[in-house]
Structures are given as structure tokens and as C-alpha cells.
């Protein structure tokens, strides 16, 4: 910076002021500084700035994995608004319990970010407490964290609506396929499962443990899960999957084993993944990119304006998109074959 100052014939103070866009710099000095900075391709060191300002200019995000569609979309929205706000985006992932424990133990974001976004984690009270003591705003994304800043869709209501929709098509045996809990990606499992149960109760249908199965990424796991459903004494006529990615895998397993969808089994997803339309998958759409945008905006607000309500909530809408993988339930006498 001293080099730039010398080249521009001003003091380092003026260089600093210019580069930060403060107004009290004459046009002439500003131009000379900018020219000098360009010639020397000088960029301010965030490290040094943050040392004195206490701001890092960085937002950290913790996600269960970086490969999933949902996280990708959230990151897209996030990076968009953060770039506009001049903030950098740092990502952490915790794909299993060990990594998750390591993150919360070390809390690497501690002094290295101005805010932390936690995406889709079903946190324990201890973990919440740990983050409460972090010293920077934490925004909970895709989950409702009572008393804390969060951005989410009404998972419970949406799942209730989805289940009602299936019920309305005449289905009485509705299975729920959730992501395996060991992924840490269990927040939406819990809420959506809850909505599913609510809708069952509402329709006076019994909740049957056997109809709720878990799967993790990979054909084998999903085939196993679907297999468990198919060999029940009273198998489901509809499957509600926690995410479209799971739904698509279920769809594939069903069809590749010759089961007609929606003729024999209806499949309902959640997300409105880009590919859902191609597969004609009925699903509950959620605006994933907007979730990212809203989370970024909220984080930015919390950083810049400490007077902001630290428990601000942003709720985004969902909507069911009926497509071709759901249809009326077969009329079927209990204990009688189909047809």
C-alpha cells in the first residue's frame, strides 16, 4: 500500500480511503490512486483489514454435503447476493457424524467469518448452544430454529398437503421414504415426516412404522428400502419421498422391476428438482435458490445492522405440482390380489 501511495504521490491514508470508497477524497487524488493501484495490481489484504476492523468480509456456510441438488441451489442464490454485498463465501461440509463433531468441536468459523449459515442440520441443544456462543450471527437455513434467525419453507404444512393430496386420490397405505439419519441431513426428514403423520391423523389413518423406511444415496440402498415396502403384507399404493432425488431413485427401482407408476404405486417427491419435470414426477416445489438468496440477504442485514431482530424468520412458499407419477389408488379388497 505504501508503494501505491508513493506512486500516486499521496499518503497511505488517502490510498486506504480511496480504495474503501470513502467520500472525502478529491477526484484528482482518487484517480491517481486508482491508476497506481491498477498498475501495481494492488488489492487490499482482507486479512490485514479485518485485523483492525474486526470484520472478515466473509460468510461461512456449513452444509451436510456439497454434492446434493438442494445445497447446490442454495449456494447459487447465496453467492449471488453475497457477491453483490461484497462478501466472500466460505464453505464447510460435514458429511458424517465424525466430521460434524469435529466441526462443532473446533468451530473453525469462530473468528474467521462475520456470519455462519447452517443448512439443513437437525441440531442438538448442545450444538445450538455452541453456536449461540459463537459471537457472530448464525442463520439457520432450511430449518425452523425457534428464537434464532432462520430461513425456511413450511415443511410440515407442505408435507401435510402432499399427504392429503395422495389421500385425496384414494390412497390409504402411504409410505414415507426418508434420507438415512446418519447423513446429518435429517432436518427435513423430521419436519416432513411430522407433516405426513399429521395428515394421516387428520384422515384417521393409522401411522404404521413399517411404512417409513430410510435410504441413503445409491441404488442398492433404495432398492432395499423399496423392497421392504413391497414385501409387506399390506403394501403401500403410494410413496412420499423426502426429496426428489430419493423419489427419482424410488421411481427407477419400481419401474425397473416392472411395477407400473402410477398404475400400481404413486410416487410423490419434494423439491422440484430440475429433472423432476423430465421424469414427469409429481412433487412439492420449493424455491431453493430463493432460500439461498434470502439467507444471504438476512446474513448481510444481521452483519451490517446489529439492531436487526436476531430471531428474524423468512418463510418461503411451496406448491404442489401434480404430474404423471401420481394417480388414483387402485380399488383393492384387503387381502385380495389386484385386478
278 binds a copy of itself (CB under 8 A): yes
Interface pick for DNA out of 7, 34, 44, 93 (rule CB under 7 A) = 44
124 binds, among a copy of itself, DNA, none (CB under 5 to 8 A by kind): none
User: Which cell is 236 given?
Assistant: 403401500
Name the grid cell of 106. Answer: 473446533
Bridge partners, 282 (sequence order):
268
271 sits in the region (left: phi over 0; alpha: psi -120 to 50; else beta) called: left
Letters for 97-136 (x = contact with DNA by CB under 7 A, - = none) are --------------x-------------------------
Partner that binds at residue 191, options DNA, a copy of itself, none, CB closer than 5 to 8 Å by kind: none
Report, in angstroms and rounded to the nearest whole number, the Rg of the chain calculated over CA atoms: 25
Contact status: 39 vs DNA (CB under 7 A): no
CB of 198 to a copy of itself, least distance (A): 31
DSSP 239-302: EEESSHHHHHHHHHHHHHTT--TTTT-EEEEEE--TTTTTTT-EEEE--HHHHHHHHHHHHHHH
Half-sphere exposure of 63 (CA within 13 A, CB side): 19
Candidates 37-45, 140-148, 186-194, 298-306 — which segment interacts with a copy of itself by CB under 8 A? 37-45
Neighbours of 229 (CB within 10 A): 21
Residue 104 contact partner, candidates DNA, a copy of itself, none, CB within 5 to 8 A by sort of partner: none
- The partner residues of 39 in beta bridges, in order of sequence, read none
User: With binding defined as CB under 7 A, does residue 52 bind DNA?
Assistant: yes
Beta-carbon contacts of residue 236 (< 8 Å; ≥ 6 apart): 171, 173, 174, 175, 211, 229, 265
39, 53, 182, 201: residue in contact with DNA (rule CB under 7 A): 53
- Which residues, in sequence order, are bridge partners of residue 314? 151
- Draw the binding track, 144-183, toward a copy of itself (x: CB under 8 A; -: no contact): ----------------------------------------
User: Which pairing describes strands 266-271 and 238-241: parallel, antiparallel, or unpaired?
Assistant: parallel
Residue 88's CB is within 10 A of a number of other CB atoms, namely 15
Q: In angstroms, rounded to a whole number, what is the distance separating the alpha carbons of residues 297 and 318?
A: 20
- Nearest residue (CB) to DNA, 51 versus 101: 51
Nearer to a copy of itself, 174 or 251 (CB): 251
For a copy of itself, give the closer residue by CB, 70 or 165: 70
Distance spanning both ends of the chain, measured CA to CA: 81
The torsion defined by the Cα of 155, 156, 157 and 163, in degrees rounded to 10, comes to 100
Which of DNA, a copy of itself, none is residue 73 near (CB under 5 to 8 Å by kind)?
a copy of itself
232 binds a copy of itself (CB under 8 A): no
Q: For residues 227 and 229, give the distance between their C-alpha atoms in angstroms, rounded to a whole number.
A: 5
Angle, CA of 135, 137 and 139, to the nearest 5°: 140
Q: If binding is defined by CB under 8 A, does position 2 make contact with a copy of itself?
A: no
**List 31, 35, 40, 51, residue binding DNA (CB under 7 A):** 51
Residues forming the site for DNA (CB under 7 A)? 1-2, 9-14, 16-17, 19-20, 23-26, 28-29, 42, 44-45, 48-49, 51-53, 111
Residues at the contact surface with a copy of itself, assessed by CB under 8 A: 41, 43-48, 50-51, 56, 58, 65-69, 71-73, 75-76, 79, 83, 88-93, 99, 106-108, 110-112, 133, 217, 219, 245, 248-249, 251-252, 274-275, 277-279, 289
Amino acid at each position: 500500500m505504501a508503494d501505491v501511495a508513493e506512486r500516486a504521490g499521496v499518503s497511505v491514508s488517502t490510498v486506504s480511503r480511496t480504495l474503501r470508497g470513502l467520500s472525502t477524497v478529491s477526484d484528482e487524488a482518487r484517480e491517481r490512486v486508482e491508476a497506481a493501484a491498477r498498475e501495481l495490481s494492488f488489492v487490499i489484504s482482507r486479512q490485514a483489514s479485518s485485523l483492525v476492523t474486526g470484520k472478515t468480509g466473509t460468510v461461512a456456510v456449513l452444509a451436510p454435503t456439497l454434492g446434493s441438488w438442494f445445497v447446490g441451489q442454495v449456494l447459487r442464490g447465496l453467492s449471488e447476493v453475497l457477491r453483490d454485498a461484497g462478501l466472500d463465501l466460505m464453505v464447510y461440509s460435514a458429511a458424517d457424524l465424525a466430521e460434524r463433531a469435529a466441526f462443532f468441536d473446533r468451530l473453525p468459523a469462530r473468528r474467521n467469518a462475520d456470519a455462519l449459515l447452517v443448512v439443513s442440520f437437525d441440531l442438538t441443544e448442545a450444538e445450538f448452544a455452541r453456536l449461540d456462543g459463537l459471537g457472530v450471527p448464525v442463520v439457520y437455513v432450511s430449518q425452523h430454529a425457534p428464537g434464532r434467525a432462520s430461513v425456511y419453507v413450511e415443511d410440515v404444512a407442505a408435507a401435510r398437503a402432499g399427504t392429503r393430496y395422495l389421500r385425496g386420490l384414494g390412497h390409504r397405505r402411504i409410505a414415507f421414504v426418508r434420507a438415512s439419519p446418519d447423513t446429518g441431513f435429517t432436518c427435513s426428514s423430521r419436519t416432513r415426516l411430522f407433516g405426513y403423520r399429521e395428515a394421516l391423523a387428520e384422515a384417521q389413518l393409522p401411522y404404521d412404522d413399517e411404512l417409513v423406511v430410510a435410504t441413503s444415496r445409491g441404488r442398492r440402498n433404495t432398492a432395499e428400502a423399496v423392497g421392504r415396502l413391497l414385501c409387506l403384507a399390506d403394501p403401500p399404493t403410494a410413496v412420499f419421498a423426502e426429496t426428489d432425488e430419493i423419489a427419482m431413485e424410488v421411481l427407477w427401482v419400481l419401474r425397473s422391476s416392472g411395477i407400473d407408476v402410477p398404475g400400481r404405486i404413486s410416487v410423490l417427491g419434494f423439491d422440484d428438482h430440475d429433472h423432476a419435470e423430465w421424469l414427469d414426477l409429481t412433487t412439492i416445489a420449493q424455491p431453493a435458490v430463493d432460500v439461498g438468496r434470502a439467507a444471504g440477504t438476512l446474513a448481510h442485514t444481521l452483519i451490517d445492522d446489529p439492531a436487526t431482530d436476531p430471531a428474524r424468520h423468512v418463510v418461503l412458499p411451496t406448491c404442489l405440482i401434480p404430474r404423471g407419477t401420481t394417480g388414483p389408488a387402485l380399488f383393492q379388497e384387503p387381502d385380495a390380489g389386484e385386478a
